[in-house]
Amino acid sequence: MLNNGKYEICYNVQSIVDEKNHMIADYEITDKVNDLEQLSQMSKLAKETLNTEELEVIADAGYNSKKEIIETLMNGIYPTINTRIKDENKIVLEIEYKHHEITEKMKKSRKKEDIQKCLESGIIPEIFKKYNIQITVEKITNKEANKKEELIYETVEIEGRRDYFERDLEKDIVICPIGRIMPRKSTKNEKVRYGRVYVCKDCPEKCTQSKFKIVEFAPNKKIVKLIKKIDLKKPKKEANKIVKIMLIPEKKKLKKRKSIVEHPFGTIKRHMDGTYFLLKGKEKAAAETALFFLIYNLKRATKILGTKGIIEKMRAIFLFFLIKTKKIEKYA
């Protein structure tokens, strides 16, 4: 695992632990030094392993990646994540607004595509309504258009509007058709280029579809004709919209997380001497982890059900297997 600029012989162990019995449902071995990219993948694995349509995952601040939280929501899983900022009890996410015709069936659906369409339309799917989630749709405008900056271009007096760019060889500048001064920008293939963004900003006589006009002059050329006048009388674009999703994690659940997911690691390290890996390589380390987790789960199950209860459960599973595979006659 790459850590602090150097590779170390270690791995990051991700685990899924259920709230009720503190049993390890599944796990993953990664070579990522932090947990920022693990939330959606591990929560999806938990949903598949536990075979459930509804799931809430609780994780610490190390998993607080907005991209991963959004992906987790899209998968129909509600994430309760500790915030990175002290004393701030909310997580605000932003996604692009997309208009979808949302039906009642789609609102109640558990399919990823329906949940995604609901969220993109600014509607809370039924699966999330019991949680502290708020969704609003807001209009946004072009940031550049909203900035009130002073114009720093220079102008010269000319008679009316012209249809050409005039070059002053002595001052090495160009005067545009409305009298604004265009400074030298660069030289390309022996041609001198003039133009700057601030010259064309807020220009009432826009002559280009680009952000600003670049005019090229041959070494001794003084006049360049304005080839095309751009018509700016176009319908204004509708303001873009974004969907703001605000999650308010419950503090009680966040505190409870420590006694759920940290419990197995504490038991394995302190009571089972699992403080480090004995084997090298990701595959072998994963197998070693599986053995530790299996032993932990057996000890935990024995604590909950007792030895007799474990034997009865195993016998029932064995008989079910025999019936399913039609081998019951051999063991009758």
CA distances from 93 to 37, 60, 121, 135, 242 (A): 16, 17, 14, 10, 10
Both structure tokens of 86 = 């002290």
pLDDT band at 145 (very low <50, low <70, confident <90, very high): very low
Q: In this predicted model, what pLDDT tens digit does every residue of 43-81 receive, in sequence order?
A: 999 999 999 999 999 999 999 999 999 999 999 999 999
Boundaries of every domain in the chain = 2-142+242-278, 164-225
pLDDT band at 305 (very low <50, low <70, confident <90, very high): very high
**φ and ψ at residue 64, rounded to 5 degrees:** -80, 75
- Of all helices (H) and strands (E), which one includes residue 282? helix 282-324
Q: For residue 331, what pLDDT is reported?
A: 52
Residues contacting 152, CB < 8 A, separation 6+: 198
Strand partners, 136: 244
Q: In this predicted model, what pLDDT tens digit does every residue of 167-210 receive, in sequence order?
A: 998 888 999 988 889 999 888 888 899 998 888 877 877 788 78
Both structure tokens of 319 = 């008989």
pLDDT at residue 281 is higher than 60: yes
Q: In this predicted model, what pLDDT tens digit does every residue of 99-116 receive, in sequence order?
A: 999 999 999 999 999 999
Distance (Å, rounded) from C-alpha 207 to C-alpha 228? 7
Both structure tokens of 317 = 């599973």
Find the mean pLDDT for residues 145-171: 70
Exposure class string for 127-160: b at 16+ Cβ within 10 A, else e:
bbeeeebebeeeeeeeeeeeeeeeeebeeeeeee
Using a CB cutoff of 8 Å and minimum separation of 24, what contacts does 54-62 make?
54/110, 54/127, 56/80, 56/131, 58/253, 58/254, 58/256, 58/257, 58/260, 58/261, 59/35, 59/257, 60/35, 60/254, 60/257, 62/34, 62/35, 62/36
pLDDT at residue 323 is higher than 60: yes
Higher pLDDT, 132 or 143: 132
Q: For residue 207, what pLDDT is reported?
A: 84
Angle at 270 between CA 269 and CA 276, to 5 degrees: 30
243 within 8 A of 73, measured Cβ to Cβ: no
Give the predicted TM-score (pTM) of the model: 0.67
pLDDT band at 158 (very low <50, low <70, confident <90, very high): confident
Q: For residue 146, what pLDDT is reported?
A: 47
Distance (Å, rounded) from C-alpha 49 to C-alpha 269? 25
pLDDT band at 322 (very low <50, low <70, confident <90, very high): confident
Q: In this predicted model, what pLDDT tens digit does every residue of 233-255 receive, in sequence order?
A: 444 444 589 999 999 999 899 99
Q: For residue 72, what pLDDT is reported?
A: 97
